[in-house]
A and B are shown apart, each in its own frame.
Chain A
Amino acid sequence: DVKVTQSSRYLVKRTGEKVFLECVQDMDHENMFWYRQDPGLGLRLIYFSYDVKMKEKGDIPEGYSVSREKKERFSLILESASTNQTSMYLCASSPRVPGELFFGEGSRLTVL
């Protein structure tokens, strides 16, 4: 069965802390994505990656960075968390020839 796994379901961090969110997929997909989801704003793309060590900014990259050192793993980094980064973070992957996205369970981050 296809699987996208996000390392943490719930996190609580303090303002200014560094936050790592990890995502691993077992489908050998080339494309991986990080979204955040907020009420009334829908799904917004933060970053995506179409190959190892490649990354592209999405619609709201400010305050975030990403790392893709291995094909199966895509990490989202908040260098200095702020309260406006409190959100649900969703990782997804898709094959090179785009079809459906497969989503992880989500990581709910609260920044105090």
Chain B
Amino acid sequence: EDKVVQSPLSLVVHEGDTVTLNCSYEVTNFRSLLWYKQEKKAPTFLFMLTSSGIEKKSGRLSSILDKKELFSILNITATQTGDSAIYLCAVRAGNNRKLIWGLGTSLAVNP
């Protein structure tokens, strides 16, 4: 059965810390991996990764995929209170239409 596992489930850090969130997967016929940020409302898209070893970057956030070891990490440097959210990882596999979602990592950044 296809599955996506995120760790840790929750994390509390202080402003300025660097955090690394993990997403590992076991799926048939991997297509892509997506990261989303969810604050109080709808998830908003962060990154889509399809190739191993190529870092995607947006400001203080970056992400990389390892297709050999079947995981991705999301890094956030110099965290701010506005980074407090649930970070969701999803993998597209198989026939390409559906996503398999992890349970998310709840990040709290304290001032």
Number of interface residues of A (CB under 8 A): 22
Q: Which chain B residue has the least Cβ–Cβ distance from A94?
A: B97
B residues near A, CB below 8 A?
31-32, 34, 41-45, 48, 88, 90, 92, 96-99, 101-104
A residues near B, CB below 8 A?
4, 31, 40-45, 48, 50, 56, 58, 90, 98-106
Q: Is the CB of B101 within 8 A of A58?
A: no
Q: Is the interface of B mostly helix, strand, loop or mixed?
A: strand
Given contacts A31-B97, A98-B96, A100-B34, contact A40 B103 (CB under 8 A): yes
Q: Is the CB of B45 within 8 A of A101?
A: yes
Would you give the shortest CB distance from A100 to chain B, in whole angstroms? 4
Q: Is the CB of B34 within 8 A of A42?
A: no
- Set A31, A43, A102, A104: member contacting B101, Cβ < 8 A: A43
Q: Is the CB of B97 within 8 A of A98?
A: yes
The distance in angstroms between the C-alpha atoms of A105 and B38, with both chains bound, is 11
Given contacts A100-B45, A103-B42, A105-B41, contact A45 B88 (CB under 8 A): no
- Set B48, B101, B102, B103: member contacting A99, Cβ < 8 A: B48
The distance in angstroms between the C-alpha atoms of A106 and B86, with both chains bound, is 15
The distance in angstroms between the C-alpha atoms of A41 and B32, with both chains bound, is 22
Residue with the greatest number of chain A CB neighbours at <10 A, chosen from B43, B88, B96:
B43
Q: Is the CB of B45 within 8 A of A42?
A: no
Given contacts A90-B42, A103-B43, A106-B41, contact A48 B98 (CB under 8 A): yes
Supply 14 further A-B pairs (C-beta < 8 A) apart from A4-B42, A90-B43, A106-B42. A31-B97, A42-B102, A42-B103, A43-B88, A48-B98, A98-B32, A98-B97, A100-B48, A101-B43, A101-B45, A101-B99, A102-B45, A103-B43, A105-B41
